[in-house]
Chains A and B, each alone.
Chain A
Amino acid sequence: MMALLSVRGLARSYYGVRAIAGLDLDVSGGTITGLIGPNGAGKTTAFNVISGLVPPDAGTVTFDGTDITGFRPDQITRRGLVRTFQIARGFPRLSVLENLMLYGARQPGESLPVALFGAWAAREDELRERAMATARRLNLLRVANNAASDLSGGQKKLLEIGRALMTDPRMIMLDEPIAGVNPTLSAQIGEHLLTLRDEGITFLIIEHHMDAIARLCDPVIVMAEGRKLTEGPFSAIAADHAVQEAYMGRRAGHLAAATP
């Protein structure tokens, strides 16, 4: 089966430091694929390049059969691939509802002449209803009129997911969706992701929380030093010596090998 998202030979350096160096990875439709690796492995850079925020030095990104390398972020989002941000970034001065509605696609009122002289109220009502439904689903309805800056850390993570959902995505890339969230809420977020996957949305998730990875992700891709190290089900990854080395550091391994 052809992968929904396919990355080949992707490379990006910052001032001579190679953040990703020849990354190959595939995400199959209908999966929650995990992306793990030690700090500095290049996970977030990979997200930035795939989502179009940062242009690659080399390599290609193919989504749903289309080469999207070099596309702008808005073009990629409109093709059905949307991402969230690690530190809940967004629009603190917009209300939760406005945050959600902003992400809606096909808004005639975003054209200047239509905004001033045309009719956009019908689509706006439709979008508001949709945003309300999304907020209800994510337990954000109570705070729908609050400014996004008033939300708790966990609610901000939920809002990130909600905003992504508003674009009618085929695939969502989540950058640490549960880092720093209390266990109850993180379990809730996990349930949401499983339900959404069953509804047909594919996920690629960066996360450091191994319990969550074990529960949600199959397969898991391990990155180290800007490349894919290995890939497989979580149990196989956890037992992999090379993965442990990547996390714990290689020096100890070298020393162990050198000692007779």
Chain B
Amino acid sequence: MNNSMQWSRNCPIPISSDALRISLAHGEGARLSRRLISEIILPRFATATSRGFADAATVTTIGCRLAICTDSHTVSPMFFPGGDLGSLSVYGTVNDLAVAGAYPRWLTMSLIIEEGLPIVILERILDSAAHAAGECKVTIVAGDTKVVPRGAADGLFINTSGVGELMDPVPPGPESIQVGDKVLVSGPIGRHGIAVMSTRESFAFEPSPLSDSGSVIHAVASLRNSVGEHLRTIRDATRGGVSAVLHEWAMECGHTFALTESCIPVTDEVRGACELLGLDPLYVANEGTIVIAVDPLFAEIALNAVRQVPGCGQAAIIGEVQPKRITPVTIRRNFGSPQPVDEPSGAPLPRIC
């Protein structure tokens, strides 16, 4: 991604007023629907047959256990520094499978398109989704499109469902977390939320904060291969950020997570934006950064393994699990005694002054 690009809340593609746009007729099952599918959608997904997607895709497994998940994606603006809705809709579901211990294999993709969406935008989003799917070696095997009247959706909503093959050893989950375990993150936190917010609100931050939107398959694989059975659990820290993940884990395992602020990687761009807006990076969304709980004896090995993965060079051990206290998550800031970290409540709203 070119850092020097100028981002605004508008789509970076200039759209002429007479550009071809999606109409309700594109969703009514007749010739325009067929052309939308056969000319715009199918050519981008190489494995779909020339006749289009079958009513139901059939896939073959070799007797392994499967993981299944689904996720709906909407983001305003659809294009932001570091990503867009298309790639996000693939990475989001792929990452949900990966952190569950599965190797993502197949996706379905369902588009809900608002009447009036320029076709060139749809094409660009689909190109990006196809590129992300290729990068993740995941096949889009089934799909659907619906067109809704103008105003009934925000441009484009994408739902993707995914199926993956579970890879041994599968992390047992947050209930297996024990006192003394270490907590890691795979990179600087809060990048996606700040990138989207600063684009949506046209903040002229220089340089533009970049989203971390991306696949975590390689990071998870590196953990599986290095410290396999010593992993407790992994989660991608999306909405609600790292704080939301740790609060959920604390509920499951009944312990307290004690963080050290100086160990938490945060980029200067995110830190500056958060200071300005009165936000805390712990609550800000990520889209390609994972939180890991691991046996303390294997934490350094896990850290070194993750750091070898491209894009994860700033992975860090950010805290440890302690016996249950009144608060599920605490943080030791630069000075003084540890303070509680609150559970996020709704979207963060910037302060007045």
User: A and B: partners?
Assistant: no
Interface residues of A (CB under 8 A from B): none
Contacts from B to A (Cβ < 8 Å): none
